[in-house]
């Protein structure tokens, strides 16, 4: 459809210039005005003439009629003027042949404009806090971030995926104290990050109890001890460093299991600790430029002129904060990768934080400041309750995946009695159900996570679209030889399937422009629905008309190709059988 829209825009530009004069609208402007009518009976493409009406001071109805009488394109079977719109009806068979041939020729690269060739994108996503569990709240940054990486790679960008681990901070002082008081090495080696979480929750509860008992919400014995242990860690204490490295190792081993299930690999695991020795240079630069001010002993950058609160760079005790680390990390990454764009995928709650330090980077004179992009997303709650590791109010992703896989396995065992095959399918479909559920929503929408909805296998769900893909595989298994579109006339459902295939490149462009994977997810649902209508209404392999059979098989192959590509772009696997 993209090619046809460009061709139509070019022809309309000539037509408008001929009838109304030069310089009224460019091809690009006309292309942007073309839209899809809400009622397919009106046409497959339309040009609203209201913008021209204002310029020419003529009725949009009159303009549409004038253009109708002089416009011609062999791709359209009918051109009509209705209510100020110039409507175009596509010649079904010719259009379908061009689209399907395009899909089959380009294969898995169909839909890619390769606009990113020669450009580098750095993506900072997932980034869990070490020694804390991988829960449903981490799913957003992880799957949105990786989908954006896959989409950029699809467009030809060189991508660097960075897992900016939360491996530094006062929480490690708490964990060190908790381990020294109550921890056991063997227990943690066997229980992994879950045992570290128990220690973390316990010490937070103990600190809270001490504060309540003393009536002082800022100080407690355990809290003071935790700060002291972290200070020792920052100053290179051997025992604390060894414990810290162990906590990181235990955590990474757990996270890798989840990443493997999602098919995610990172290019870098450089966490917050990596930038500890890189922050002083940035602080000194701020000081030398006169950007640092003292505020009650803390060092800040005043952003009042830009209607933002001050950006804290150093605490009163001289220790650094998140903005300091983020600035140092951005400088290091630009020096290392010379990125054309750096994308940060985090909760919308951090939007002010990013706006602040982005502005500080600009004030520091870094020319690449406008290449920093924050991609926010909404919050996740459980039955309306906010997630909190300290209180243990979380749904662990591994538990969620385990339950989803178990439910799918119950269904698939009937068709796949071989246990290994059954569990392989169940993992792909079970994990896919959770990913699809999440990415079905606009990323800014807050999600109240409901287990039953996420694991439902009816309606517009992950299992439904994966089953549709498996159905295309089943049809193609029964076909031998090459497939190609023929001159055979096509029905409405066949034409609708071809039209749906044709808009895939536009959906990819929109998803990239808006940093919105759900655009691809919604497209997958549209394509699955179009294919299933075609499948139920048209004989494919059993069609007796050889020419028509060839076209229908080609349509099936095209749907198979695009479904596989689209599902991969939202972090989902494509089982051939379900």
Helix spans in 314-447 (H): 322-337, 351-363, 397-412, 419-439
Which residue in 65, 89, 106, 135 is the catalytic one? 135
Which candidate, 413, 456, 412, places its Cα nearest to that of 434? 456
> Strands across the sheet with 380-382, in order?
385-386, 380-382, 447-449
Per the DSSP assignment, residues forming a β-bridge with 268 are: 162
Q: For tokens 């749906």, what's the residue?
A: 500
First to last CA, the chain: 32
Q: Among 166, 171, 250, 230, which Cα is nearest to 203's?
A: 171
Which one from 7, 54, 109, 132 is the annotated catalytic residue?
132
Largest CA distance in the chain: 87
DSSP 215: T
Q: Who's near 541: CB < 8 A, 6+ residues apart?
A: 475, 478, 479, 549, 553
Residue 232 known to be catalytic: no
Phi and psi, residue 79, nearest 5°: -125, 130
Tokens representing residue 126 in the block: 């997932």
Residue 302 CA: distances (Å) to CA of 289, 293, 438: 13, 7, 38
User: CB–CB of 172/532 below 8 Å?
Assistant: no
Whether 74 contacts 59, CB under 8 Å: no
416 is catalytic: no
Distance CA 112, CA 506 (A): 9
DSSP annotation of 135 reads B
Q: Which residues of 196-210 are buried (b: 16+ CB within 10 A; e: fewer)?
A: bbbbbbebbebbbeb
**Could you tell me which of 560, 435, 427 has the C-alpha nearest to residue 497?**
560
Tell me which of 6, 40, 94, 138 is the catalytic residue. Answer: 138
Q: Distances in Å between the alpha carbon of 303 and those of 296, 298, 360, 371, 463?
A: 16, 15, 8, 20, 49
Report the C-alpha gap between 123 and 396 in whole angstroms: 24
Degrees, nearest 5: CA angle 519-520-523: 90
Alpha helices in 57-170 (DSSP H): 60-70, 92-106, 139-154
Q: Which phi and psi angles does 541 have, rounded to 5°?
A: -65, -30
Give the DSSP per-residue string, 247-271: HHHHHHHHHHHHHHHHT---SB---
Burial class (CB in 10 A: 0-12, 13-18, 19+), 481: exposed
- DSSP string covering 231-249, please? HHHHTT-HHHHHHHHHHHH
146 is catalytic: no
Q: Which residues pair with 159 in a beta bridge?
A: 121
Q: Distance between CA 469 and CA 459 in Å, rounded?
A: 15
* Catalytic residue IDs: 132, 135, 138
């Amino acid at each position: 459809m993209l090619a046809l829209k460009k061709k139509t825009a070019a022809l309309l530009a000539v037509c408008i210039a001929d009838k109304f004069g030069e310089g009224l609208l460019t091809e690009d402007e006309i292309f942007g005005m073309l839209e899809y009518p809400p009622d397919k009976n009106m046409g497959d493409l339309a040009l609203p003439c209201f913008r021209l009406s204002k310029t020419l001071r003529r009725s949009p109805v009159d303009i549409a009629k004038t253009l109708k009488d002089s416009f011609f394109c062999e791709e359209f079977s009918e051109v009509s003027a209705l209510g100020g719109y110039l409507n175009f009806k596509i010649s079904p068979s010719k259009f379908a042949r061009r689209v399907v041939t395009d899909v089959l020729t380009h294969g898995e690269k169909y839909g890619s404009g390769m606009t990113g060739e020669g450009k580098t994108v750095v993506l900072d996503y997932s980034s869990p806090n070490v020694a804390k569990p991988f829960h449903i709240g981490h799913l957003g940054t992880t799957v949105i971030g990786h989908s954006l990486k896959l989409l950029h790679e699809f467009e030809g960008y060189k991508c660097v995926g960075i897992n900016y681990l939360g491996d530094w901070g006062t929480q490690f002082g708490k964990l060190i104290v908790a381990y020294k008081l109550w921890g056991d090495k063997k227990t943690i080696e066997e229980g992994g990050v879950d045992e570290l979480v128990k220690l973390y929750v316990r010490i937070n509860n103990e600190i809270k109890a001490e504060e309540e008992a003393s009536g002082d919400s800022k100080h407690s014995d355990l809290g003071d001890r935790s700060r002291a242990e972290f200070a020792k860690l920052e100053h290179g204490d051997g025992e604390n460093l060894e414990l810290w490295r162990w906590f990181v190792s235990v955590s990474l081993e757990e996270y890798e299991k989840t990443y493997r299930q999602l098919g995610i690999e990172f290019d870098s695991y450089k966490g917050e600790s990596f930038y500890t020795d890189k922050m002083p240079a940035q602080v000194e630069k701020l000081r030398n430029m006169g950007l640092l001010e003292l505020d009650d002993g803390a060092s800040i950058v005043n952003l009042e002129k830009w209607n933002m609160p001050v950006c804290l760079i150093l605490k009163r005790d001289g220790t650094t904060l998140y903005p300091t680390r983020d600035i140092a990390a951005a400088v290091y990454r630009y020096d290392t990768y010379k990125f054309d764009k750096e994308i940060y995928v985090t909760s919308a709650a951090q939007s002010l934080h990013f706006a602040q330090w982005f502005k500080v980077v600009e004030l520091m004179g870094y020319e690449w400041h406008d290449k920093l992009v924050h991609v926010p997303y909404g919050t996740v709650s459980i039955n309306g309750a906010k997630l909190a590791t300290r209180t243990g109010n979380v749904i662990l992703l591994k538990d969620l995946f385990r339950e989803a896989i178990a439910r799918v396995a119950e269904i698939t065992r009937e068709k796949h009695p071989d246990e290994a095959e059954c569990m392989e399918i169940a993992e792909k479909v079970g994990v896919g159900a959770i990913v699809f559920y999440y990415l079905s929503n606009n990323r800014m929408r807050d999600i109240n996570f409901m287990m039953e909805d996420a694991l439902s296998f009816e309606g517009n769900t992950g299992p439904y679209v994966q089953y549709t893909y498996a159905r295309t595989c089943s049809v193609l298994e029964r076909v031998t030889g090459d497939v190609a579109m023929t001159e055979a006339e096509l029905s409405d459902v066949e034409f609708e399937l071809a039209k749906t295939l044709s808009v895939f490149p536009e959906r990819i462009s929109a998803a990239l422009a808006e940093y919105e994977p759900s655009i691809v997810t919604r497209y997958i649902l549209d394509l699955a629905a179009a294919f299933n209508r075609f499948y139920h209404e048209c004989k494919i392999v059993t069609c007796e008309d050889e020419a028509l059979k060839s076209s229908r098989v080609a349509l099936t192959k095209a749907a198979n190709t695009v479904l596989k590509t689209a599902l991969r772009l939202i972090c989902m696997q494509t089982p051939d059988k379900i």
